[in-house]
Amino acid sequence: MQLYTSQKLQVHNSLSGKKEVFTPLNEGHVGMYVCGPTVYSNVHLGNCRTFMSFDMIYRYLKHLGYKVRYVRNITDAGHLEDEGEQEDKISKKARLEQLEPMEVVQRYTVDFHQILEKFNFLPPSIEPTATGHIIEQIEIIKDILEKGYAYEMNGSVYFDVSKFNKKYTYGKLSGRKLEDMITNTRDLAAQDEKRNPQDFALWKKAEPQHIMRWPSPWGDGFPGWHLECTAMSTKYLGETFDIHGGGMDLKFPHHEAEIAQAEASYGHSPVRYWLHTNMLTLNGKKMAKSTGNNILPNEIFSGQNDILSKAYSPSAVRFFMMQAHYSSILDLSDDALAASEKGYLKLMEAMNQLADLPTGKTTDFDITSWKQECYKAMNDDFNTPVLIAQLFEAVRQTNLIHDSQASISQEDKEELIQSMSVFVYEILGLENNQDMGQDRDTLSGLVDLLIEIRNSARANKDFATSDKIRDDLANLGVQLKDGKEGTSFSIK
């Protein structure tokens, strides 16, 4: 019997605006698609927050016993700076840096994977690239043209939003109305080859200087960004699948366009549950590549940045992210990270001490109901902050057991150790590699203290004590060296 039969998961569906009981299309199986990065620059911590939320969601679904097919794409073509532009982000970067576009793609895909590995992400089941699915995209465009919801113009193909809106509803995910959009953009219409400013490119003609180009029935060009996700999600998950995720900033126009494309082509909505993560902010503003208001993960791990007072480990940062619900705004600051690091270290210390809990008579700590509370938190739309509060409740209870010289039954102890490691390591994805920097600081502080005590022992001619300090430290692998400038030490 899999866990999902007894744990009733509820998720907040952005399409309905409500929490809904999660029932996958095919029992026991979950198909999940998450929009991946556009690989034209290093991923910043904001991007990582969104991917980390879905890593946690993937981990929990797997823990519940679902067979999850998790597809997270790599956008390596087609992402325009904005709808009116002729050049995509990767081509532009390649032109500016005088690189082959695929060199840009390779460099930042490798960076993305390295960062995610440091954060202890699970790899998705499939990581398709847009450039690997040009044929599939062309097929969908042909289909949408045939159904009358797109038109060709000078070698580009555009989705006809107004026509689509006559039969379907454009804007239902983001809560926008086409009439309002039209009123707001009337002035722009004249400058565009599109029939309406709301129309978006399915295929874009490549100007002669555009490096990334593929042949198509409409001439050389490149696919539209929104279409990539429709092509890749359909190919690997089908015309209808369970979960589609991404950051809230992608709701419009990207996800709205994905819904329209699928409805125009297949005649029905593609996604059963839309999940959107909220933004990581810095100085109260959205972290973004374009504005420069961002921090890179490696700048945090190394401490080389102008924003934070010290370096933080990947696990401390992961813990910081997990302390907020994925749908709340989270602001990054030195104080907030420092507080999270403290919490993380406290949790890890407790994890390390669980094995030493004295067993014998039982305490009041009811492990079964505590565990239910942990599941209740996760089943309530993946509420990690509430889960973490429950984990600290367990820490508090174990401290009580230690302090009161009480004990816990062997059975409860095993259950507690097992459950704690499931929630902490398997589901939250934390690693127990306490900040080595902090350990080193503590260690050198302690050795300096012993050197001081040894110096005063020598000054008092208490050579027995001074020799003992030197020899015992040597046995621990700490070598003292007396020099002109005082005593220094090295650690084996």
Stretch that binds ligand AMP, among 43-51, 66-74, 215-223, 379-387 (CB under 6 A): 43-51
487 contacts: CB under 8 Å, gap ≥ 6: 451, 454, 455, 480, 481
For ligand AMP, the binding residue among 24, 31, 37, 221 (CB under 6 A) is: 37
For ligand AMP, the binding residue among 127, 136, 192, 249 (CB under 6 A) is: 249
Stretch that binds ligand AMP, among 119-127, 244-252, 403-411, 438-446 (CB under 6 A): 244-252
229 binds ligand AMP (CB under 6 A): no
For ligand AMP, the binding residue among 288, 311, 389, 457 (CB under 6 A) is: 288
CA 30/CA 389 separation, integer angstroms: 28
For Zn ion, the binding residue among 15, 30, 35, 401 (CB under 5 A) is: 35
Per partner kind, with CB cut-offs from 5 to 8 A, the member of Zn ion, ligand AMP, none near residue 49 is ligand AMP
Instruction: Residue 458: count other Cβ atoms within 10 Å of its Cβ.
Output: 16
Instruction: Write down the residue that tokens 């619900």 correspond to.
Output: 325
What minimum distance in Å lies between the beta carbon of 296 and Zn ion? Answer: 23
Per partner kind, with CB cut-offs from 5 to 8 A, the member of ligand AMP, Zn ion, none near residue 94 is none
Cβ–Cβ under 8 Å, residues 259 and 267: no
What minimum distance in Å lies between the beta carbon of 103 and Zn ion? Answer: 24
Per partner kind, with CB cut-offs from 5 to 8 A, the member of ligand AMP, Zn ion, none near residue 419 is none
What minimum distance in Å lies between the beta carbon of 286 and ligand AMP? Answer: 5
131 binds ligand AMP (CB under 6 A): no
Cβ–Cβ under 8 Å, residues 14 and 173: yes
Cβ–Cβ under 8 Å, residues 280 and 49: yes
For ligand AMP, the binding residue among 38, 156, 261, 363 (CB under 6 A) is: 38
Residue closer to Zn ion (CB basis): 35 or 39: 35
Number of residues that bind ligand AMP (CB under 6 A): 17
CA 40/CA 105 separation, integer angstroms: 6
35 binds ligand AMP (CB under 6 A): yes
What minimum distance in Å lies between the beta carbon of 404 and Zn ion? Answer: 54
Instruction: Specify whether the backbone of 203 is left (phi greater than 0), alpha (psi in -120 to 50) or beta.
Output: beta
Torsions phi, psi for 435 (to 5 deg): -50, 105
Positive or negative, the Cα torsion across 147, 153, 155, 161? negative
The H or E element that residue 20 is part of is strand 18-21
For ligand AMP, the binding residue among 4, 13, 31, 46 (CB under 6 A) is: 46
What minimum distance in Å lies between the beta carbon of 246 and ligand AMP? Answer: 4
279 binds ligand AMP (CB under 6 A): yes
What minimum distance in Å lies between the beta carbon of 114 and Zn ion? Answer: 23
In terms of Cβ atoms closer than 10 Å to its own Cβ (0-12, 13-18, 19+), residue 309 is exposed
The residue whose Cβ lies closest to ligand AMP is 247
Stretch that binds ligand AMP, among 42-50, 104-112, 392-400, 438-446 (CB under 6 A): 42-50
What's the Rg (C-alpha) of the chain?
28
Q: Give, in order, the Cα–Cα distances in Å from 345 to each of 231, 320, 392, 439.
A: 44, 12, 12, 11
Query: Taking CB under 6 A as the criterion, which residues in 399-428 touch ligand AMP?
Result: none
Instruction: Write down the residue that tokens 């026509």 correspond to.
Output: 163
What minimum distance in Å lies between the beta carbon of 35 and ligand AMP? Answer: 5
Strand partners, 19: 12
Residue closer to ligand AMP (CB basis): 15 or 374: 15
- DSSP per-residue letters across 438-487: HHHHHHHHHHHHHHHHHHHHHHTT-HHHHHHHHHHHHHTTEEEEEETTEE
For ligand AMP, the binding residue among 104, 161, 202, 250 (CB under 6 A) is: 250
Per partner kind, with CB cut-offs from 5 to 8 A, the member of ligand AMP, Zn ion, none near residue 287 is ligand AMP
Number of residues that bind Zn ion (CB under 5 A): 2
CA angle 431, 437, 439 (to 5 degrees): 85
Residues in the site for ligand AMP, rule: CB under 6 A?
A: 35, 37-38, 46-47, 49-50, 246-247, 249-250, 277, 279-280, 286-288
Report the interface residues with Zn ion, using CB under 5 A.
35, 229
